[in-house]
Structure 1
Amino acid sequence: MSRNPVLFCRTPDSLTLSAHKALYRSTTGSRFATWRRPTARNIRMVNLMRKSLFAASVLLAASTAVFASPVQRDLAAEEANRALVVQFYEQFFNQHQVALAAQVVTDDYKQHNPDVPDGKAPFVDYFTGFFKEHPNSRARIVRSATADDLVYLHVHSTNGANDRGQAVVDIFRVKQGKIVEHWDVIQDVSAETANGNTMF
C-alpha cells in the first residue's frame, strides 16, 4: 500500500494546528495527504536552503555587475582632444607663440601648478616673461595618451643644448574644444641611473 506524501513546512507560530493542516492540503492539492508537525532538523534544513539561495542571489548580482558592458569611449573625440593639445603645446612651449596658442584656453582656465595663477591671462603673462628670460626653452613630447576628457603628455623639457632638463607629465582637461584645466608633475633628469634606463 502506498504511503501518503508528507510535507514539512514552517508557518507562523500564531497559526492553529487546523490552519497548518489546511495550508498543507491547499499546497499539495490532496485532502488525504498526511500532515506532520515540522521537526527542528527540518527547520534547520529549510533555513540552510534559504541562506544558500540568498548567497547565490548575491553572487549572481555581483557577477552581473563585474561582467556588465563597460561605458563606451568616444575614441574619435579623444583623438580630437589629443590633436588639439599637441598643437597647442607645440605652438606655446616650442614656438613661443603664446597669445596664438592660448586661443584654445578658456578664460577661467584652472591651474594646479602652484607657481602659476588660475585664468588664461595670468597663464599667458607668466610664460611670456618666462620665455623672454629663457628663449632656448623647448619641450619635446615623448608620448601622449587620452582617457575620456583628459590628455596626458610625457615631455622632456630643456633650456638649452647642454641642459639635461626635466621629465614632465602634463595633464590637460578638454571641454568642447577648449583646454579648461591643467596638472603637471616635474622631475629633474638625473646624471646617474641605478638601472641604466633613461627617464623617457
Structure 2
Amino acid sequence: MLTNKENAIAFYKMAYEGNPRKAVELYVGAEYIQHNPLVGNGPEPFISYFEKMQAEYPDKSIEFVRAISEGDLVALHTHQVWPGNDEYVTMDFFRFDTQGKIVEHWDAMQQIPDESLNGNTMY
C-alpha cells in the first residue's frame, strides 16, 4: 500500500500531465474541498480546470522538489516550467481521509523572478 505522500505525488503528477479524471478516480475520496479560488469545489470542477490547462499548455512540466507528510496532511513543494520559460514555485497541501483518499486541497503559487537579492534559489 502506498503512503499518503506517494499518493499525493501520483495524484498531482497525473492530473498536471493531462489525466485529471483518472487521478480523481484513483486518489480522491467521497468529497473534495477546494481552497484554490480559481477552481470550484468537488471533483468535476477540478477535472475541468486541469483538462483546460492541459489543452492550453501541453508542454508545461513539473518537478517535485520536496514532500512532507504529517498525520493526514501532505505538503508538496514543486517547480513548474510553463511555455515561454515562465517558472513557478508552488506549495500544495492535501488532507487525506481514513481510507487514504484526498478530500481537501490548499495551494500557493509564486512566479520565480529573474533575479534574487539573496542569490539563492526558491528551492
The answer, yes or no, to whether TM exceeds 0.5 is: yes
Deviations for 1:22-67, whole angstroms, at most 9, x for unmatched residues? xxxxxxxxxxxxxxxxxxxxxxxxxxxxxxxxxxxxxxxxxxxxxx
How far does residue 164 in structure 1 lie from its aligned partner after superposition? 3.5
Q: How many residues align?
A: 121
Gaps of at least 5 residues in structure 2 are none
* Pairing 1:139–2:73 present: no
How far does residue 121 in structure 1 lie from its aligned partner after superposition? 0.9
2:93 to 171, 178, 188: 171
Structure 2: distance between partners of 1:127 and 1:92:
6
Structure 2: distance between partners of 1:110 and 1:189:
28
Structure 1: distance between partners of 2:24 and 2:63:
19
The structure 1 segments of at least 4 consecutive aligned residues displaced by more than 3 Å after TM superposition are none
Secondary structure of 1:151's aligned partner: strand
Deviations for 1:120-147, whole angstroms, at most 9, x for unmatched residues? 0111011111110111122211011011
Paired residue for 1:4? none
Secondary structure of 1:165's aligned partner: strand
Counting only pairs closer than 5 Å after superposition, residues 71-82 of structure 1 correspond to structure 2 as 80-82=3-5
Deviations for 1:103-134, whole angstroms, at most 9, x for unmatched residues? 11135200000000000011101111111011
Paired residue for 1:123? 46
How far does residue 157 in structure 1 lie from its aligned partner after superposition? 1.3
Counting only pairs closer than 5 Å after superposition, residues 1-200 of structure 1 correspond to structure 2 as 80-94=3-17, 96-103=18-25, 104-160=27-83, 162-175=84-97, 176-200=99-123
More strand by share: 2
Identical-pair percentage: 37
Verify the 8 A CA contact 1:107 1:120 in the aligned structure 2: no
Root-mean-square deviation (CA, aligned residues, Å) is 1.6
Task: Using the TM superposition, name which of 175-184 and 101-110 deviates more.
Answer: 101-110
Greater length-normalized contact order (CA 8 Å, ≥ 6 residues apart): 2
Verify the 8 A CA contact 1:106 1:120 in the aligned structure 2: no
More helix by share: 1
Verify the 8 A CA contact 2:19 2:51 in the aligned structure 1: no
Secondary structure of 1:184's aligned partner: strand
Q: Normalising to structure 1: TM-score of the pair?
A: 0.57
